[in-house]
Amino acid sequence: MTTSTGSGAYASPEPDAVWPLSGATEPGPPAAVPSVVGVADLRATNAAAVLAVVRSADPHPRLSELARATSLSRPTVEAIAEELADSGLIEVAPAPSARGQRSPGRPARRFRFRPHAGFVVGVDVRPRSVTARLADLDGEPVAVERRPVRADLAGPARARAVTSAIQAALDRAGVDASQVWAATLGTPGLVDRDNTRVRQADNLRTWTEVDIVGVLHEFLGCPVAVENDANLAALGEQWRGVGGTAPDPATGEMVFVLLGERLGSGVITGGRLLRGHHGAAGEIGFIHFSGGAGPDRPGLDPLPDETIRDAAAADPDAVAAVEAYGRRLAGGLAPVLLALDPALVVLGTGLFPDPAALLAAEILRSAAQHHADDLLVDPPRWHLSALGDDAVLTGAVRFALSSVEVVLRTRPTSLNTRRATRDA
């Protein structure tokens, strides 16, 4: 169960939980010390190798193909396959249709990965809503629950809304909490580098006083991380949005600008988040934009809904206002873009929830790009988000999966061992 230190910080009972996309490195032996591989470690490594082939092979592989791909003996592969099947990670695939073919005997067994062997949870916390998504081990959505909340909701009540939304998603899918192997919560504000604490969230009352990671670990019994919403939106867009159009999707440099009640951004560099020394990289909401919120207030106030609607309907005054907003945005971002030199800038469409308003979003994007082109040495491409309102949730699922993938690549059968321990 979860514990808290005297200062309220979360103390993970699973210190080997790794969140690779946060910039953390995966554990390994010190370079100066010769590594010693025990029998259990070797078996875990072999199981991970077999599982990796099962997941990537097309069509589903036979035992002989697994042995050839892993350079392991057939008896070893057969024993590992049985262990992976017992743990629920793989299963025997249905035999392909033999209609019209003569079969001299029983066809060789083929194996396939079971994405529903476990699940991850992603949560998107906003001032006026809480949304939870349950996804399988392939990252495919299984159930989603969205709960409206009051903007002035206190931290403990907001945490209860989070657990309630997660439970509703689990109930809808018929999944027990013990089947969740990792969870990530996205939130406005500043998050510490360890992804365990929200240290500043001006627009969520008393939210920083809640040990939300501890609360969710108590509730789900699995590794839990909290991350800034714009950072997660950047990961989501890189994974399943327009980030895939970058010249090198695996390592492309990308800046995601989250447009909403407050400005934020997530920076992808080398395929990972750029977090900064204090975990505050990308906090563009603290920039003083020309013509923005005022000389004493950083950021840009969001465009009024009426202006967005009228711009989408081609009203000249509204179009001019949206274009001016785009130019101010580009002007404030120009020094950031000069320093980072991204290949791609993605504008989140949170200000344009109605599909009919996307024309206004395109007007903003076009104005921002044209102004940035005049200010930068090597201008990036600008795109609207392909994920829209789902960017944060998609990134939260991706972040949670990154922790599970570490285990699947190193000691896959330990996942069900942990679950059995929690259930006991």
Q: What is the largest CA-CA distance in the chain?
A: 83
pLDDT at 104: 59
Token pair recorded at residue 139: 């990252």
Instruction: Give the H/E segment covering residue 135.
Output: strand 129-136
Name the residue among 379, 344, 367 with its Cα closest to residue 266. Answer: 344
Mean pLDDT for the stretch of residues 309-331: 96
Q: Burial letters for 305-342: b for 16+ Cβ neighbours within 10 Å, e otherwise?
A: eebbbbbbeeeeebbebbbebbbbbbbbbbebbeebeb
Range scoring the smallest mean pLDDT among 322-331, 376-385, 412-421? 412-421
Residues linked to residue 147 through DSSP beta bridges, in sequence order:
130
Backbone angles phi, psi at 394, to 5 degrees: -65, -40
pLDDT at 75: 94
Mean pLDDT for the stretch of residues 343-359: 90
pLDDT tens for each residue of 225-270: 999 999 999 999 999 998 766 666 545 789 999 998 888 999 998 8
The answer to whether the CB of 332 falls within 8 A of the CB of 259 is no
pLDDT at 10: 43
The answer to whether the CB of 357 falls within 8 A of the CB of 389 is no
Sequence-ordered strand ranges (E) for 221-277: 224-228, 254-258, 264-269, 272-273
pLDDT above 90 coverage of the chain, percent: 68
DSSP helix/strand/coil, 117? helix
Mean pLDDT for the stretch of residues 321-339: 96
The answer to whether the CB of 185 falls within 8 A of the CB of 162 is yes
pLDDT tens for each residue of 79-121: 999 999 999 999 999 876 555 555 555 678 999 999 999 999 9
pLDDT tens for each residue of 136-149: 999 999 999 999 99
pLDDT tens for each residue of 355-413: 899 999 999 999 999 999 999 999 999 999 999 999 999 999 999 999 999 999 999 98
pLDDT at 107: 72
Residues linked to residue 132 through DSSP beta bridges, in sequence order:
123, 145
